[in-house]
Structure 1
Amino acid sequence: MRLRGVRGSRNVEDRRRSGGGGRAGGAVRVGGLGLLAVLAIGYFTGIDVTPLLTQGGPTAAVPRDLTPEEEQAAEFSTRVLATTEQVWGQVFSRQLDRPYTPPVLVLFSGVTQSPCGGASGATGPFYCPVDHKAYLDTQFFATLSRQFGASGDFAAAYVIAHEVAHHVQNELGILGQVDGLRRQSSRSQANALTVRLELQADCLSGVWAQAVDGLLDPGDIDEALNAARMIGDDRLQRQAGQIPRPHTFTHGTSEQRSGWFRRGYDAGRIEACDTFSDQSL
């Protein structure tokens, strides 16, 4: 993705200098399939699995300097965020005839807190509708590449775009409606609603991707499609040594995730992302 010359967004809250990994004490080394299994727990349930990866005393805020790699990741993230601000500002104006208010991106290291609960690099990026902020430990980019097999800068950009897409859903009132329905549903029904929510966010990410097509390098869309496939529920459950159980899915299969991203990219319109009216998904 060609971001040289793209301004960095100012809607960023950087908490990384007080991170340093988030906990005092020694760290338990978890690798290979063990790490995948632990990450999958957090990914499927939203539970903060940091205690499974670390041990020792309570969270300690230790001021520290940032590495060059962390600085580079932050610069990349702020520029990608800026592209989402421009794109959704235009899309809301042209397609919905209304203004768009962008979210704040919180960069953290290890663990942090949000009104929606603990944020952890182990559970991955997430959006909190209470404070209209997306939370990102940029180390997740390395996890995405090394543990999930989704490499490339546009795979990382897709992650940011997906969380911003949840903010778009919040702006449109969709998150609140779905949350109300989930509260009245059984666990399996609530999971099914969440799948539709996540697939819509994938589709909206595709809408963004079409709008920034002029910034893309050859192969960038393939990187995003691969990332969507690599973090499908069915694949993650297999990687964790489980037999895929559709009633537990919360994000959709690999085929569904990549398919809805492609649909949004091809259409370039919000109306193409109505996963709640689609009977087949």
Structure 2
Amino acid sequence: MKWRGRRGSANVEDRRGMGGKGLAVGGGVGGLIIVLIITLLGGNHGDLLGGITGTEENVPYEETEKEKEDAQFVSVVLADTEDVWTDVFREEGMTYKEPKLVLYSGSVQSACGAAGSSVGPFYCPGDQKLYIDLSFYQELQSKYEAPGDFAMAYVIAHEVGHHVQTLLGKSQELQDMRSKLSKEAFNRYQVRFELQADYYAGVWANHAQDMNVLEEGDLEEALTAASAVGDDTLQKKHQGYVVQESFTHGTSEQRKRWFHKGFKNGTIEGGDTFKAKEL
């Protein structure tokens, strides 16, 4: 991805070294979404630090050159999502509200609760912020075998996709369905929710291509990342077998397909996964 020397976002909040303790997970939509997002990249609910008592602790932090570069990259990707979604919303007669992106190290507090870095990047609709520990960039390459800067760009775009869902009312709809459906039925609904975020990530990638910032191999990097975080792939990797009823994000094939569909369409239309007969 062509990102060096380009505009970064003004909506980046740097909390690295600040620590994060003491917030319990709320029962509202914010608390729900953070629990859902934990499994995006193989995390587990034990990584959520909700309910731990104590005060916020400052941890000595010194940025390395690699972390400085990664922070700049993330800022540029966020800026691109701002430009794209501002235009897309305007075309639909709506106004896009830009989210904040919080850089943290180790653990962080959000309106959804306190979380450790092992949950991976997540979005909290309670404060409309994305949270990213930059160490995940290396983990994406080594643990998930999804190298390349556009693999990370896909992850950021997916989380921004959840912000788009929040602005369109989909996050609240998900919360409302929680008490109306059985666990298995809710899981199926949640899969559609996550695949829609993948579709929106593809919409952003389409516009990034129009902006002439994609390089050869970028699309393949994103598709590799989408495949690496499919429920079936993660379950096989972590437990050796697949339990389809427990899927919450979709299979590798589904995640790739909906991202690619968004990439081909480039519009909000066509991304209604909730009405799709087949995923």
**Alignment TM-score, normalising by the size of structure 1:** 0.86
After the TM superposition, which residues 51-66 of structure 1 pair with which residues of structure 2 at under 5 Å, given as runs?
A: 60-66=57-63
Q: TM-score, normalised by structure 2?
A: 0.87
Partner secondary structure for residue 101 of structure 2:
strand
Give the superposition deviation at 1:272. 1.1
Per the alignment, residue 93 of structure 1 pairs with 90
Q: 1:267 to 1:42 in 2, by over 3 A?
A: closer
- Supply the AA of the counterpart residue of 1:3: W
How far is the alpha carbon of 1:119 from its aligned partner? 2.3
Match of 1:250 in 2: 248
The one-letter code of the counterpart of 1:97 is G
Kindly provide the CA deviation profile for residues 55-74 of structure 1, in whole angstroms up to 9, marking residues without a partner as x.
xx997422322111111111
Aligned to 2:270: 272
Aligned partner of 2:2 in structure 1 is 2
Aligned to 1:28: none
Hey, what's the Cα distance between the residues in 2 that align with 1:261 and 1:210?
Answer: 10
In structure 2, C-alpha distance between the alignment counterparts of 1:239 and 1:44, rounded to whole Å? 9
Counterparts of 1:41 and 1:166, CA distance in 2: 14
Give the distance between the partners of 1:83 and 1:147, measured in 2 at CA.
Answer: 27
The correspondence for 1:259, drawn from 253, 257, 260, is: 257
User: How far apart are the structure 2 equivalents of 1:141 and 1:256?
Assistant: 23
SS at match of 2:137: helix
CA distance in 1, matches of 2:226, 2:183: 24
Structure-to-structure mapping, 1:127-138, within 5 angstroms: 127-138=123-134
Q: 1:41 to 1:260 in 2, by over 3 A?
A: closer
Q: Call closer, same or farther: CA 1:245–1:82 in 2, change over 3 Å.
A: same
Q: CA deviation at 1:192?
A: 1.0
Structure 1: runs of 5+ lacking an equivalent? 24-39, 52-56
Structure 1 counterpart of 2:4, which letter?
Answer: R
**How far is 1:138 from its partner?**
1.1
Query: Hey, what's the Cα distance between the residues in 1 that align with 2:241 and 2:156?
Result: 29
**Structure 2 unaligned regions, length at least 5:** 22-37
Instruction: Please identify runs of 4+ aligned residues in structure 1 that moved more than 6 A.
Output: none
SS of the residue 1:272 aligns to: coil
1:217-254 CA-to-partner distances (Å, cap 9, x unmatched) read 00100000010001100000001133111110111000
Q: 1:41: Cα distance to partner?
A: 6.6
Deviations 1:154-195 (A, max 9, x none): 000011110001000001111101210122211111111111
Aligned to 1:14: 14
Q: In structure 2, what is the equivalent of residue 198 of structure 1?
A: 194
Superposed CA offset, 1:95-143 (max 9, x none): x111101100011001111111222221111110010001111111111
Q: Which amino acid aligns with 2:68?
A: E
The aligned runs of 1:117-266 (5 Å cut-off) are: 117-213=113-209, 214-266=212-264
Cα distance in 1 for partners of 2:252, 2:176 equals 27
Aligned to 2:31: none
- Identical columns (%): 46
> 1:104–1:203: structure 2 CA closer, same or farther, 3 Å change rule?
same
Q: In 2, Cα distance between the equivalents of 1:58 and 1:10?
A: 28
Equivalent-residue separation in structure 1 for 2:82 and 2:187 (angstroms): 30
Aligned length: 257
The 5-angstrom pairing of residues 1-80 of structure 1 reads: 1-19=1-19, 43=41, 47-49=45-47, 60-80=57-77
The answer to whether residue 110 in structure 2 is matched with residue 110 in structure 1 is no
Per-residue deviation, 1:200: 0.3
Contact 1:41-1:49 within 8 A present in 2 as well:
no
Does 3-12 or 198-207 show the bigger shift?
Answer: 3-12
Distance 1:81 1:223, change over 3 A: same
Equivalent-residue separation in structure 1 for 2:46 and 2:71 (angstroms) = 23
Q: Aligned to 1:273, what secondary structure does the other structure show?
A: coil
Matched AA of 2:157: A
> Quick one: distance in 2 between partners of 1:221 and 1:128?
27
**Structure 2 counterpart SS, 1:118:** strand
Say if 1:128 and 1:134, in contact at 8 Å, map to a contact too.
Answer: yes
CA separation in 2, counterparts of 1:41 and 1:261? 18
State the one-letter code of the partner of 1:115. Answer: A
